[in-house]
Structure 1
């Protein structure tokens, strides 16, 4: 008997329906011929809690930290025992096992850890399914691979799970216990991704809070030229009071010039014209889709992910959604017309886009070198009756399909014009944009980015028809939204100050993964560290206090982004995970020694807007010594846990 273990029931059903032979259902499985398909329910196993290693760890104590498992253990999730029993029974009668987890790091982990936990020693093949429609699943079943090829991916996922456990368990216990000493009754959760994300929001909120607006002034002049009129803006010289962005800080020079300008004549001294060809945006990765859906429809990242999962699993209208790739396999190009025709035929908007496509074109989106375990989001070709979808599902499906259809449209061609005028020995600039060929742009928007300038000739005369001085103010940065926070997580190198680290991270950009970013934001909201105010995501008082009390590096993105780089090296280059975990454990010792109840108390007071306590009178050295011994505001040196070398063997 061949046993296929899928990641979830929907995938198991799609696989079973693609198998030859009559299909029958058994307890926890589907059977077709000599093949049985069973499933996990997401993660059936989880990292064992600390007290599974030592019953004393059930009580949270500072002198237990750091807790370092000698030999890693798993425990069944509460609702998973029944399905684990089914898989154990089926394994006893199997001659071959097929791993059918999702085609990503977590998918590799959650099925393989079950296979290993249940002690299977026989051969294991790997089935990768990106599309749940029957023809696509049948093609995948014909291309089974040796699961050994994906061992680096499994080791990376396993290392990530162990590192998250070490980091989260130890730091959460340390800060929760020092929080109690500081008067906070509740768990203070610290995580290797969630805390840097919280740190991004806290720092942005602090920038907004501390922002001091500064006035600046701009002068514009409406100019009559040979073939029409345009608006130009004065460029103050270096002799005027300017800030570091060239903005005028005093109104007087602008006002004085404005009085002289009406009716003044000048000349166009420099004219630059450049035609620009812009290809269509690439098909979506999950994060890119979440950013656009948040901007266009105000959807949270989690709502967009949930909608994509329904379109993939329930409706079978799109390919695997939890993808970080924006490219498509070259073999899909030949069938793209038929696929898109099926996706677009039942919707007026999509059908109009499809009919305007030129399928003789080939964009850079079709590139096998850019495709890894999964490709960009795309329609499957199943006929889509959008009337049977809810509005949000239809909106997201249109976006995904549009970005693929757009690959068969010509480029957007624009002419960008920059003009410089000399008037009363002062420099004025104007710029405009003209659309020469709309190309793919009407699929996305009909709005022009900038109005075109009238036809211009270098050296022609101009005359000032109107003039104005505008009083403006510098503005604080915008608070994060779901869209901008997801984008920040995708492009985390932009938020790194160290130039060397920033250069390194450009190749391994990303805080969290496509599959986890939405969940991270929701977790921070659920734990009371972030709150939504309209579209804005703002840090709560306790969220701000937590970041203020932690070592600065814990709330910064560098550490976890570099983790992802090292995990990528394990997954892609087969690096040994032991040095990664050893470095983490060494790091933990230093971080734990920084847990300070006094610092946390001050952070909590500051977040509540309370004044700091008045200074106390000096006491005798004996009294100070006695107080220091009892306060235990610093984490004690670790008494428990194994040697570092042992913790990194697994």
Structure 2
């Protein structure tokens, strides 16, 4: 009997459907002739707890750290014991085994560790599937490889799993025990991913708390040109008093220039005109969907994940949702019109968008080379019954379907103009945009971002009709929300200085994974490190104190990048897993030596004091409107945005 072990039930069903002959369901498996397909439920096994290695470690003690297993052990996850028993029984009957985990590092680990844990010693083949369509699965079944070829990938994943255990167990125990000495009664959890995420929020909150606003003074001029009027903005020279963003911080030069401008003549010194084409946004990965849904509907990342799971498992309306990919297999293109027809069948808005789609178009979304372990989220083709969907589920489904529909719309075409005028030997800039073809844009918004400018010609003269100075106030950074924090985790390289580290973080998809990011946020809330204030995520006193007390290396994302570099090298046979662990232990011992009850006690006191102190503000709170405008005559321009952020 050939036993095929899939990573999850949905993959097992797709494999069974692609095998020749009929099939019948059994508990935890599908029998297909001479083959049996079974599955894991994600990880069936987990790293054993410290007391499994030594009963003395059931009690938390600083003098027992670091805890380092000499021979690593795995134990069944509580909710997976039944399925693990089924897989174990089938392995005892198998003549050969096919490993059908996802084609990535974690997929290699979670099936292979079950095979090894159950003591199977026979031959193992590797089945690589990233497209659940039957023809693609049939092709993959005809191209089985030797699982031994993927041993380095397994070793890298195993090294990551063990390193996370060593890091989390030892640092959490160290700072929890240190916290008790400092008077804090509770667990202080530390992790390679969750702690840098908390660090992001604490540093943002500190920036907001310490922010001191200042005034700045933009100067506008209303210019008459041959074909109409436009508003341009002064670009102060370096000799003027400017802040680090190039904004004028002394009003008097602006007032003096504004008084001289009306009636002055000038010339259009430089003109840039360019037609731009913008392709439609790609179909969603889970994180990209979480960002958009949080921005549009104010739902948490976890709520979006839960909604996707219902749409996938219960309603069968979308494809597998925990994907980090925004591309689709080329083979899916031929089925897109049918699947979108079903998805849009019972919704007026989706139906209107479907009617405008041109299925002769092909966007860059269809690309086999960019499909990873899973493809982008897409509607399955089943017609939804919106009466059975919650409001959140319906909104999430519409977003997924909309992004898929957008692939069959023309690109957005705009005509963008940048103009630079010289008046009284000073530079003024204006910009505008005209929409030549809205293409996919109406599916997303009907707003025009930048109004158009009148027709312009380089070298033409202009005349200043009016001028004014606005008083604006800088604003602090916005607190993180679910949307902006998920986006930050996806693009964590933006928050590091070292170019090499930034590049590695970009290549490794940032902090966390599609499957874990929402859970990390909820864990930080559950553990009392974060609190939700409306849409905002803010650090609690405890969260702020923990980050202040930890070594900075623990609360910044650089370690993830350094680990990722070595893990990638292990998977490519260029590094050794044992050497990686030895280096980690040296690092871990250095970090443990920095646990300091006095520092933690002080950081707790400081956090409590700061929570009781209002944020520093310069002058009155800004209303977001100009306080005063100096103008020789009434401006003919419309409203202008009057706030800025540093």
Q: What interval of TM-score do these two structures reach, taking the shorter chain for normalisation?
A: 0.7 to 0.9
CA displacement at 1:388 relative to structure 2: 4.0
C-alpha change, 1:133 and 1:325, in structure 2 (3 Å) is closer
Aligned residue number for residue 63 of structure 1: 63
**1:197–1:489 CA contact under 8 A, matched in 2:** yes
Counterpart secondary structure, 1:333: helix
**1:479–1:537 CA contact under 8 A, matched in 2:** yes
1 CA distance for matches of 2:104 and 2:306?
A: 18
Aligned residue number for residue 85 of structure 1: 85
Counterpart secondary structure, 2:242: coil
Aligned residue number for residue 457 of structure 1: 457
Aligned residue number for residue 553 of structure 1: 553
Aligned residue number for residue 200 of structure 1: 200
Aligned residue number for residue 332 of structure 1: 332
Counterpart secondary structure, 1:79: helix
Aligned residue number for residue 510 of structure 2: 510
2 CA distance for matches of 1:582 and 1:212?
A: 46
Aligned residue number for residue 491 of structure 1: 491
Aligned residue number for residue 181 of structure 2: 181
Aligned residue number for residue 50 of structure 2: 50
C-alpha change, 1:148 and 1:448, in structure 2 (3 Å) is farther
Aligned residue number for residue 220 of structure 1: 220
Aligned residue number for residue 310 of structure 1: 310
**1:133–1:380 CA contact under 8 A, matched in 2:** no
The equivalences for 1:590-629 within 5 A come to: 590-609=590-609
CA displacement at 1:249 relative to structure 2: 0.7
TM-score (structure 2 length as normaliser): 0.87
CA displacement at 1:135 relative to structure 2: 7.0
2 CA distance for matches of 1:569 and 1:337?
A: 42
2 CA distance for matches of 1:439 and 1:510?
A: 32
Counterpart secondary structure, 1:283: coil
CA displacement at 1:94 relative to structure 2: 2.4
**2:130–2:373 CA contact under 8 A, matched in 1:** no
Aligned residue number for residue 416 of structure 2: 416
Aligned residue number for residue 638 of structure 1: none
Q: Which moved more, 1:442-451 or 1:404-413?
A: 404-413
The alignment status of 1:398 with 2:385, answered yes or no, reads no
Aligned residue number for residue 296 of structure 1: 296
CA displacement at 1:45 relative to structure 2: 1.6
**1:130–1:319 CA contact under 8 A, matched in 2:** no
| Structure 2 runs not aligned, ≥5 long | 612-646
CA displacement at 1:540 relative to structure 2: 0.8
2 CA distance for matches of 1:534 and 1:291?
A: 16
2 CA distance for matches of 1:493 and 1:194?
A: 16
**1:131–1:318 CA contact under 8 A, matched in 2:** no
C-alpha change, 1:149 and 1:362, in structure 2 (3 Å) is farther
1 CA distance for matches of 2:422 and 2:384?
A: 59
Aligned residue pair count: 611
Counterpart secondary structure, 1:453: coil
2 CA distance for matches of 1:280 and 1:58?
A: 55
Counterpart secondary structure, 2:266: strand
CA displacement at 1:11 relative to structure 2: 4.8
**2:490–2:511 CA contact under 8 A, matched in 1:** yes
CA displacement at 1:372 relative to structure 2: 2.8
**1:223–1:464 CA contact under 8 A, matched in 2:** yes
Cα-to-partner distance string for 1:531-566 (whole Å, 9 max, x where unaligned)? 111111111111111111111111111011222233
2 CA distance for matches of 1:595 and 1:398?
A: 50
The equivalences for 1:245-324 within 5 A come to: 245-324=245-324
C-alpha change, 1:444 and 1:581, in structure 2 (3 Å) is same
CA displacement at 1:589 relative to structure 2: 1.1
CA displacement at 1:138 relative to structure 2: 6.1
Counterpart secondary structure, 1:599: helix
C-alpha RMSD over aligned residues? 2.7
| Structure 1 runs not aligned, ≥5 long | 612-650
C-alpha change, 1:483 and 1:399, in structure 2 (3 Å) is same
Q: Which moved more, 1:28-37 or 1:549-558?
A: 28-37
**1:133–1:316 CA contact under 8 A, matched in 2:** no
**1:378–1:400 CA contact under 8 A, matched in 2:** yes
The alignment status of 1:151 with 2:151, answered yes or no, reads yes
The equivalences for 1:427-466 within 5 A come to: 427-466=427-466
C-alpha change, 1:560 and 1:48, in structure 2 (3 Å) is same
C-alpha change, 1:380 and 1:303, in structure 2 (3 Å) is same
1 CA distance for matches of 2:120 and 2:241?
A: 76
C-alpha change, 1:111 and 1:339, in structure 2 (3 Å) is same
1 CA distance for matches of 2:390 and 2:461?
A: 59
The equivalences for 1:17-36 within 5 A come to: 24-36=24-36
Aligned residue number for residue 191 of structure 1: 191
1 CA distance for matches of 2:133 and 2:350?
A: 21
CA displacement at 1:453 relative to structure 2: 0.6
C-alpha change, 1:459 and 1:9, in structure 2 (3 Å) is closer
**1:44–1:77 CA contact under 8 A, matched in 2:** yes
Q: Which moved more, 1:577-586 or 1:181-190?
A: 577-586
2 CA distance for matches of 1:514 and 1:10?
A: 18
2 CA distance for matches of 1:579 and 1:468?
A: 66
C-alpha change, 1:154 and 1:521, in structure 2 (3 Å) is same
Q: Which moved more, 1:32-41 or 1:127-136?
A: 127-136
**2:192–2:560 CA contact under 8 A, matched in 1:** yes
Aligned residue number for residue 112 of structure 1: 112
C-alpha change, 1:573 and 1:372, in structure 2 (3 Å) is farther
Counterpart secondary structure, 1:242: coil
1 CA distance for matches of 2:460 and 2:297?
A: 47
**2:225–2:461 CA contact under 8 A, matched in 1:** yes
C-alpha change, 1:222 and 1:360, in structure 2 (3 Å) is same
Aligned residue number for residue 642 of structure 2: none
2 CA distance for matches of 1:289 and 1:103?
A: 23
C-alpha change, 1:573 and 1:439, in structure 2 (3 Å) is farther
C-alpha change, 1:131 and 1:320, in structure 2 (3 Å) is farther
CA displacement at 1:144 relative to structure 2: 5.0
1 CA distance for matches of 2:431 and 2:394?
A: 39
The alignment status of 1:371 with 2:371, answered yes or no, reads yes
Q: Which moved more, 1:15-24 or 1:460-469?
A: 15-24
